[in-house]
Amino acid sequence: MKKTWGGRFQKSTDPQVEAFTESISFDHRLGPFDIDGSIAHVRTLVKAKLLTAAEGKKLVAGLQKIKKMLAAGKLPLDSSLEDIHTAVEKALVRLVGPLGGKLHTGRSRNDQVATDFRLYLRHAVKEVVTAGIELIDVICDLAAKEKDTLMPGYTHLQRAMPVTLGHHLSAYAFMLIRDMDRFLTAWDRADALPLGSGALAGTNHPFDREFTARQLGFHSVLQNSLDAVSDRDVYVDFLAAASTTQMHLSRISEDLILWATTEFGFIEMDDAFATGSSLMPQKKNPDVAELVRGKTGRVFGNLMGLLTVLKGLPLAYNRDLQEDKHFVFDSTDTVVGSLRTMKGFLSTVRFQREKMAQVADMDLTLLATDLADILVQEGMAFRQAHEVVGNVVCYSIERGKRLQDLTDHEFKKFSPAFPKGTADNLSVHHSVAQKKAVGGTSPKNVVDQATLIKKQSAEIKHHLKHL
Ligand code: ARG
């Protein structure tokens, strides 16, 4: 295939070089956006009187036809075509003749790919955030449903204080909703048009770039052509948002993996969301959650990969930048896949409520802090109460007796400040019900949290429609 830049060359490209430098095997994903960008460019050319209205019409019709061919898998995409931009241009020339050669007026593949990739980014943000919001809604519904389900809360993976399962779940909803905000912020910063910057210096032609921007739904126009063709910082933002999201998903996964163990026994995975062993007939494994956790490595790697490609690049465009797409495509697919699979996993998992509550209730010392707070209410300094209850805890472990089963007589041995009926209000249930200050684990708070997040997720859904 004759190169679009062949005029200066007397030899054809070495096949090894052709295979090494091509990007069409992956940038074909930019195809629909490339065509949208070209249609907008044609209209800008007409407005600048570089094309007649009739020529413009013919080119737009050709491009629309190519879009259909692409969707139907009928656009030639072989590697001698180099990249999707060339593939579209060549197809256009085949369709409309030499007029197709006017399409690239005042444009370089440098501002073209920068534009295509931003249009893709908007699409990717929509896809990720849609999947994220669906997962968040599932988590909120579960949280509200499990507002009264008691379980031990952990620090250092040691039992710490009672919490509700709903509170534990809605913690993840808060993390993920911030992540969705990160993606939307990444898009806000990317929402500016590169096209019209040419190869690096701008264009000699009287392009109305605001007009181009409006056609493509960009809110503004990049003001420096060198910046427009050479930076990829907005994808760093996107990949950072993807990394934080995947990190949160890996933490959810880790909890689920632990909870699925016989030792915890807090969940029973649905058969459709678990896998077996080829050797051990009894196994039911949490591979879904493990893979979400494992794929986090890829997503972090993509962020580091792009940063490393960008580091030290001189202005303006360098071919290194072609590598940007692998990272962004891969992280988009991985995060969307993880969000959707996690939604399925959580929608089908069965929480073993009795087991959770029983573990919390049977624990000898889970209510130690509540016991210290009883002394604080009697006027004792918290530090002293901590010390006294520390001694009571040793006694309770020694005797194998839960704190809530100790008698007033036993409490008094440690401090006369323990009131009459100290154990009366010492229960897992009461402990949770008391955490009424905003942010605490009380059932009412859990419902408020779920309602708040659902409101935010509805707002984001609405926002996505206008993106
Ligand atoms: N495939 C290229 C990329 O993704 C398109 C831009 C090529 N520009 C150039 N000056 N060779 O970056």
187 and 198 belong to one structural domain: yes
Q: Which of 134, 168, 180 is nearest to 255 (CA)?
A: 168
pLDDT tens-digit readout, 260-300: 999 999 999 999 999 999 999 999 999 999 999 999 999 99
Q: Which protein residue's CA is at the shortest distance from atom 3 of ligand 1?
A: 322
Higher pLDDT, 9 or 396: 396
The count of structural domains within the chain is 3
257 and 217 belong to one structural domain: yes
Nearest atom (ligand 1) to Cα of 324: 4
Q: Of the residues 79, 322, 324, 328, which should be mutated to test ligand 1's pocket, given the most ligand atoms within 8 Å of the CB?
A: 322
Of 108, 156, 253, 347, catalytic:
156
> Is 83 touching ligand 1 by the criterion CB < 6 Å?
yes
343 and 390 belong to one structural domain: no
Tell me the torsion sign for CA atoms 351, 175, 189, 109. Answer: negative
- Return the C-alpha torsion angle 230, 235, 237, 242, nearest 10: -160
Nearest atom (ligand 1) to Cα of 325: 4
pLDDT tens-digit readout, 322-366: 999 999 999 999 999 999 999 999 999 999 999 999 999 999 999
Per the structure, the complete domain to which residue 194 belongs is given by 110-148+162-356
Residue after which a domain boundary falls, among 323, 356, 389? 356
pLDDT tens-digit readout, 136-194: 999 999 999 999 999 999 999 999 999 999 999 999 999 999 999 999 999 999 999 99
Query: Domain for residue 155, yes or no?
Result: no
232 and 326 belong to one structural domain: yes
> Is 112 touching ligand 1 by the criterion CB < 6 Å?
no
82 and 229 belong to one structural domain: no
Query: Domain for residue 6, yes or no?
Result: no
Of 12, 25, 220, 277, catalytic:
277
- Catalytic-residue membership of 156: yes
> Is 183 touching ligand 1 by the criterion CB < 6 Å?
no
Query: Domain for residue 460, yes or no?
Result: no
Task: List the CATH number of the domain containing 427.
Answer: 1.10.40.30
The percent of the chain in helix, strand and coil, each rounded to the nearest 5, is: 70, 5, 25
Assessment of whether the complete model's pTM goes beyond 0.95: yes
Q: Which of 172, 180, 174, 85 is nearest to 130 (CA)?
A: 180
